[in-house]
Each structure stands twice: as structure tokens, then as C-alpha cells.
Amino acid sequence: TALVKKEDLSGKWIYTVVKNKVSLQEVKTGIETVDDIEIINPLDEKIPVVVSGQSELYPNANVTIVNPHDYTH
């Protein structure tokens, strides 16, 4: 899941990447299943979402996208 789990955050959040830096973005969720969570607020399709390693990140951390071919709109 792309959701960020941190004790000091209320609500549901994801990390997005702009210019190789991550930032937190609050999201609203809809239907949740074992494998998927629906995000119901609009996201910019051009901005990548971090889908693994979120527990090691913090806002403004520098990142490198290592598998851009796995990124789909």
C-alpha cells in the first residue's frame, strides 16, 4: 500500500515525489479491500507516488526513482 503509517499523523497520507524530494499529501479513501484502497480525491497523474519504503522516509527527503518503467499513470 502507498499509505504512510506514522503515529503522529491523523488521517490518511501518501508520499509523492517532485524534483526528487518527497512530500506528504493527505488523501481521502473510499472502498478498501485486502489488496486495494480507493483514493477518492483527485491526484495529479504526472506526480509519482511512493509505493514502498515509506517507513524510511520523511518530508523533503531526497529520493531517486529506481524503477520508472513500473510507474504507470
Full-model pTM: 0.79
Rg value, the chain, Cα:
12
Q: In which order are the strands placed within the sheet that holds 3-4?
A: 3-4, 12-18, 21-27
In one-letter notation, the amino acid at residue 33 is: T
What pLDDT is recorded for position 73?
A: 47
Predicted confidence (pLDDT) per residue in 14-39, tens digit = 999 999 999 999 999 999 998 889 99
